[in-house]
Amino acid sequence: MTLTAENTTRWVTVDGHKLRYHEAGTGAPLVLLHGSGAGVSGWANFGANLQALSQHFRCLVLDQPGFGASGRPEVYERNYLRIASDAVLGLLDELGLEKAHLLGNSMGGGVATMTALDHPGRVDRLVLMAPGGVGVNILGPEPSEGINALMKFNADPTQANVLAWLKTMVFNPAVLTPELVEQRLKTASDPANIAALADAYATFYNPKMAEPLPLWARLRGLQQQTLLLHGRDDRVTPVEGSLFPARQLPNADLRIFSRCGHWVQVERKDAFERTVIDFLTHGL
């Protein structure tokens, strides 16, 4: 059966909010967590990979709170990573799953890392793809070129700005088909999506919501087998950001993909899928 967004859609209620997720496959549970791009959703990030990954795992592709079709608190009173981490745990609880593999892209990598650090018994293996907040950017600007383009687009969602942002996401601009650009412009221009992204990012810069220690300072406590994936030409979360966690994490390997920007699962789709399947099946 061909997997589509419609025939894989499921719903769960966590902390009074309806969350959408996509489910396919059998086997060890694998929760896939999207990044924070404008108009993003679980399906937009991982829908094209679901056919391959679901042959090996019970894939659960979550729309994190406020993104995609998932509900959200009206006001964020905690760091967004904590809100999203609680949603992951709530999904596992509602499905009766004791533990699962976590695969997180960008912001989703930060969510996966926080979940594994705070609830190690609920997380099996980790795949962190250009993870946000896990590395330390010591050479490039902060915020990065890609994050600045994203914030500019979110403030003024024009076609020119969405194209400028999307170009920072990839190595090969040919990936950016007119259909992809139009779809992202449509979803990202929705006022609810604009507010969700702005509100989530506001929690990252609010001193009152800051964590006692940043994620990168806690990495030695992460015992799970971890695979770090990074595009060599990433302009959103530069590849140098994975060097620190690759050295600090006690059980981690790092793979760097050439000819690839921030979307490893898109630009190096086949290699990404083979690498993830091998790691989650056999380990390091």
Residues labelled as active-site residues: 262
Helix and strand totals (H; E) in the chain = 11, 8
With beta carbons less than 8 A apart as the criterion, state whether 188 and 154 touch.
yes
For residue 135, CA distances in Å to 43, 156, 248, 249 come to 26, 29, 10, 11
Q: Does residue 90 contact residue 15 with C-beta atoms inside 8 Å? A: yes
Separation of CA 225 from chain center: 18
Q: Are 186 and 40 in contact (CB under 8 A)?
A: no
**Nearest residue to 105 (alpha-carbon basis) of 46, 152, 148, 52:** 46
The CA-atom distances, in angstroms, between 209 and each of 83, 118, 212, 214 are 12, 17, 9, 12
Neighbours of 74 (CB within 10 A): 7
Give the residue from 223, 280, 265, 229 showing the smallest Cα distance to 27.
Answer: 280
